[in-house]
Amino acid sequence: MNRTPSSYHVQALLTPGGLWRASVKELPGVQEQHRSLAQMERRVRRAIASTTEGLQPEDVRLDIEYSTGDSGFDHELATARAKRELADELAQQARKAAVPLAQRLVRAGVSHRDAGTLLGTSGGLVTAMIKPKS
């Protein structure tokens, strides 16, 4: 991730006690320990925002590198996350491709339920796909 004025690189390291130790590359003084990743992210955003006048926590972009302390396990986790992201992207593409097909099927008199079966989804989702956007 290229650094913009509101983007920061964070290393999150799992400690033996189960806490996440966060350090911000660009701000060595920002180092904290947190019980959860969500808590860590909120507090790191607030800590960064407090160092820059006018910067709001919600405007801080974080590029977080996670480490459990076991590089092999970290690699497996990163691979699983990448596959999950790819699956989400493919699902979004499939939904987008299905919309005109659902519309065509329904115009041809096919029921929403049958259109869903043909598209590998539900009739309810077909209804949502063909509903005009307001």
Q: What does the pLDDT look like over 87-110, one tens digit per residue?
A: 999 999 999 999 999 999 999 999
CA distances from 67 to 1, 38, 59, 76 (A): 18, 15, 25, 11
Map tokens 């130790």 to a residue. Answer: 21
How would you write 91-131 as a 3-class SS string? HHHHHHHHHHHHHHHHHCCCCHHHHHHHHCCCHHHHHHHHC
pLDDT band of residue 32 (cuts 50, 70, 90) is confident
pLDDT band of residue 1 (cuts 50, 70, 90) is very low
The residue among 28 and 5 whose pLDDT is bigger is: 28
Checking if the pLDDT of 54 tops 90, the result is no
Checking if the pLDDT of 133 tops 80, the result is no
- pLDDT for residue 5: 63
How far is Cα 70 from Cα 33, in angstroms, rounded to an integer?
19
- pLDDT for residue 101: 97
Q: Map out the domains of the chain with their CATH numbers.
A: 7-69 (3.30.2390.10), 89-130 (no CATH)
31 contacts 10 by C-beta, under 8 angstroms: no
- The one-letter amino acid code at 69 reads G
Single out the residue of 59, 12, 17 nearest to residue 38, CA to CA.
12
pLDDT band of residue 4 (cuts 50, 70, 90) is low
